Structure 1
Amino acid sequence: MYLSIASNTINIIGNLIGVFVLHEGVAGVAYPSLLARTFSAVVITVLCFQKKNEVFYRYKWIFQWDKDLMKQILKIAIPNGMENGVFQLVKVALSGIVALFGTYQIAANGVAQTIWSLAALAGIAMGPVFVTVIGQCMGNGDIKAADDYFKKLTRITLLLSSAWNLLIFVLTPLFMRFYALEPETKQLVIQLVLIHNLFNAAAYSFSGAFSNGLRAAGDVKFTMYVSVISTIAVRLLLSWLLGVILQMGVIGIAIAMVCDWVVRAAILIWRQKSGKWKTFRVI
């Protein structure tokens, strides 16, 4: 969580300096993003080799080849990679849809997305917690503990995410002082952040962090199918319908996004309650 906060802080401060101090335009946004991600990659790599950790890397393992273990890993990695790949492609398509709208809507969407990335930190930070705890429980064959921790971690995620999203929404007017925006644009940013933060606290806690628990249990294919189908059928198509056809603009894009979260959350909650995830074994 601390690493995520530090990385996003570097990104946000870098964006402000790059755009408003150095006047680098788009490059002022791109370079801080590269710097933030490089910082995270370096820090997490160094931490992975720390021998004081219960689990750590050894240099001699890097070039070792274990066919059976690789097959086990790829069963998880490939579905996750496909899921992330589709998501990034849809993001590109959504950027094209947003480009069809007026200048003030494009500006509002850009500012809102920066604030969204900060508001989403709590839910994103809880994702690795689900992976670690549920993964260890399932690895030990303690299904009851995994079931109990699903409930406990979900409650923690909901509380943490709700408090964090509320805080970010309250601070949104302060954030917008750093942007030279027209009153109409500022009002639209507030509306976008409100829509995002309400559902990020409630629905994304399940469609995001909660889904990582199912992946840790080995239920990766189902979560991939749900994510890919929902991203395309709900987020992308609904964005076109609401944003372009019904002329709701970026508000329609935001509504489509939260509808995607709600649909995924409902399906994943049903999946967890069905107990099917208890039958998988990763390694």
Structure 2
Amino acid sequence: MEGNLTKGPILKTLTKLAIPIMASSFLGTLYNITDMAWIGLLGSKAVAGVGVGGMFTWFSQGLAAMARMGGQVQVAQCIGRGEKEKAHGFAQAAVQLAAFMGMAYALLSLVFTKQMVGFFQLADAEAHAAAISYTKIACGLIVFSFMTLTLTGLYTAQGDSKTPFLANLIGLVTNMILDPVLILGPGPFPKLGVAGAAIATVTAQAIVMSIMILAIIVRKKENVLKGIQLFAGIPREYLGGICRIGIPTAVQGMAYCAISMVLTRMVSGYGAEAVATQRVGGQIESISWNTADGFAAALNAFIAQNYGAGKMDRVKKGYRASLWTVGIWGILITLAFVCFPRPIAEIFFHEPKAITTAVGYLIIIGFSEAFMCVELTTVGALSGLGRTKLCSIISITFTSARIPLAIILGGLMGLSGIWWALSATSIVKGIIFTCTFFWITRKRG
């Protein structure tokens, strides 16, 4: 039977679901940090190249969110209403959509690699070559990432977060073994550098996807993913339902990434160290946002099931418990970034100029961490209610404000002004999203 999230103690139910997801998110962070730590040994130019290539894998995650969020919310709400057949239909449609979109994105990335990387106007030839190499491999085989994200969402919708966690754990171990071997080429192994990092990541994603598929086949336990036919036609009802919920989330994710690309282009004017700092800083920062995103995924499934079952009281209590949890975590991250920026920066950078740039980034961004955690969690909660369009409007409006704000503050304060534009908008979004959730749920009684 599917995991029923509409009964039992709220905090216990939510925490039981959230902990494996948060642990999976930590593993995702470790994936990226492991890559960055090893690539850091090749120098800041290699890190800058991977930073640019990583932008396109990040952009793809926004697109993948259409199938993942649409499938997760619809499946969870169907389970809450007791409509098992419809839940299976939505699950099949989500998997088919993820496979198709993953292959389409890979094809476009391979055809237009030069134009995509060219957007960032990397002046350094070494950084440019690294970006081309990383983008071709990581985006050319992005379908594994699309499938992994969607399957994780569909497992979560049923209240099963342990299977994705175990799959991600095995993937992480694989990645950690392959990284030094493929990047640095010890002994008889060839030194592949940046290409090695991309191969290690893609291989790990393929393994994670395979384990999750194998778990569906091997287990006798009931699962909405059982009996899925990848090449069957997608009924309009299911495709429409997924797109209605998923498209606003996808637009939001892609817009967020596109805005970050524009900001990265602005940052590139300050040199390879600045680009590398933004890339690595984002990975360090993902300690907080991956955790919040993990809790948001659990809260999304919890709220969607309870909303489908008409239990608004559990919806409100679940949100409040989550708000306290991620808020406290965000405050701890703020203290770490503001009080100990240099030791953190020195893990990833070895050149004095790059370390100084990273320290400035961590202190400024640190002030917004708790607000960002609250924002991500609230987006998960509102999406569980089916309000993805509203989330998209709020997020895109205030994230877009980063560009003019970065131009103004950058003119006054230089590189620090761009970092402050990121931090200030995160603070504002955290406050607005929280107020919006309380306003909507008060209306619904």
Alignment TM-score, normalising by the size of structure 1: 0.82
Deviations 1:132-179 (A, max 9, x none): 111111011101110111111111111233335545664860551452
Conserved? CA contact 1:204–1:261, under 8 Å: yes
> Is 1:176 equivalent to 2:342 in the alignment?
no
Q: CA deviation at 1:44?
A: 5.0
Corresponding residue for residue 383 of structure 2: 215
Q: Is the 8 A contact 1:18 1:27 kept in 2?
A: no
Q: Which moves more between the two structures, 60-69 or 184-193?
A: 60-69
Is this contact kept in 2: 1:115–1:172, CA < 8 A?
no
Partner of residue 153, structure 1: 322
1:4 corresponding residue in structure 2: 25
Query: Mind listing any 5+ residue stretches in structure 2 that lack a counterpart?
Result: 1-21, 42-182, 185-190
Residue 237 of structure 1 is matched in structure 2 by: 404
Deviation digits for residues 171-229 of structure 1 (CA, Å, limit 9, x no counterpart): 860551452121x54233223112223311x2112221211100110111111111111
CA contact (8 A) 2:36 2:348 kept: no
Q: Distance in 1 between matches of 2:442 and 2:224?
A: 27
Within the alignment, does 1:246 sit opposite 2:412 as a pair? yes
Please state whether the residue corresponding to 2:368 is helix, strand or coil: helix
1:275 matched residue in structure 2:
440
Match of 2:254 in 1: 85
**CA distance 1:277–1:73, change in 2 (3 Å):** farther
Three-state SS of the structure 2 residue aligned to 1:101 is coil
Aligned mates of 1:38, 1:255 — CA distance in 2: 38
In structure 1, what is the equivalent of residue 395 of structure 2?
A: 227
Structure 1: 5+ residue runs without aligned partners? none
Q: Which amino acid aligns with 1:129?
A: A
Relative to structure 1, the CA distance from residue 37 to residue 132 in structure 2 (aligned partners, 3 Å threshold; closer, same or farther) is: same
Cα distance 1:52–1:11, how it changes in 2: closer, same or farther (>3 A)? farther
Deviation track 1:100-128 (CA, whole Å, cap 9, x = no partner) reads 11454344334323322234332222121
In the TM superposition, what are the counterparts of 1:98-137 in structure 2 within 5 Å?
Answer: 98-137=267-306
Structure 1 contact 14–28 (Cα < 8 Å) conserved: no
* AA aligned opposite 2:414: M
Aligned 8 A contact 2:342 2:355 in 1: no
CA gap 1:36/1:230 in 2 versus in 1, 3 angstroms? farther
Shift of 1:33: 4.8
Closer, same or farther: CA 126–118 of 1 in aligned 2, 3 Å: same
2:426 matched to which residue of 1?
261
1:189 to 334, 337, 358: 358
Aligned residues: CA RMSD = 3.0
Distance in 2, Cα, partners of 1:227 & 1:50: 41
- Percentage identity across paired residues of the two chains: 18
Distance 1:48 1:189, change over 3 A: farther
1:67 to 236, 247, 252: 236
Determine if contact 1:130/1:212 at 8 Å carries over to the other structure: yes
Query: Is 2:35 aligned against 1:14?
Result: yes
Q: Tell me how far 1:6 sits from its aligned partner.
A: 2.0
Letter in 2 for 1:94: L
The residue type paired with residue 238 of structure 1 is L
Matched residue count: 274
Superposition map of 1:52-63 within 5 A? 55-60=223-228, 62=230, 63=232
Residue 372 of structure 2: aligned partner: 204
Relative to structure 1, the CA distance from residue 269 to residue 252 in structure 2 (aligned partners, 3 Å threshold; closer, same or farther) is: same
Q: Which amino acid aligns with 1:271?
A: T
Letter in 2 for 1:4: S
Supply the distance in 1 between the matched residues of 2:220 and 2:426 (Cα, whole angstroms).
Answer: 38
Report the 3-state secondary structure (helix = DSSP H, G, I; strand = E; otherwise coil) of the residue aligned with 1:180: coil
Distance in 2 between residues matched to 1:35 and 1:11, nearest whole Å: 14
Q: Distance in 1 between matches of 2:393 and 2:336?
A: 34
**Counterparts of 1:49 and 1:80, CA distance in 2:** 30
On the 8 A contact 1:217/1:277 being kept in 2, the answer is no
Comparing 108-117 and 162-171, the one that deviates more: 162-171
Displacement of 1:235 = 1.7
Query: Which residue number corresponds to residue 103 of structure 2?
Result: none
Please give the alpha-carbon distance, in whole angstroms, between the structure 2 residues aligned to 1:271 and 1:32: 41
Are the counterparts in 1 of residues 398 and 429 from structure 2 also a CA contact under 8 Å?
A: yes
Q: Per the alignment, in what secondary structure is the counterpart of residue 57 of structure 1?
A: coil
Report the CA distance shift for 1:19/1:180 in structure 2 as closer, same or farther (over 3 A): closer
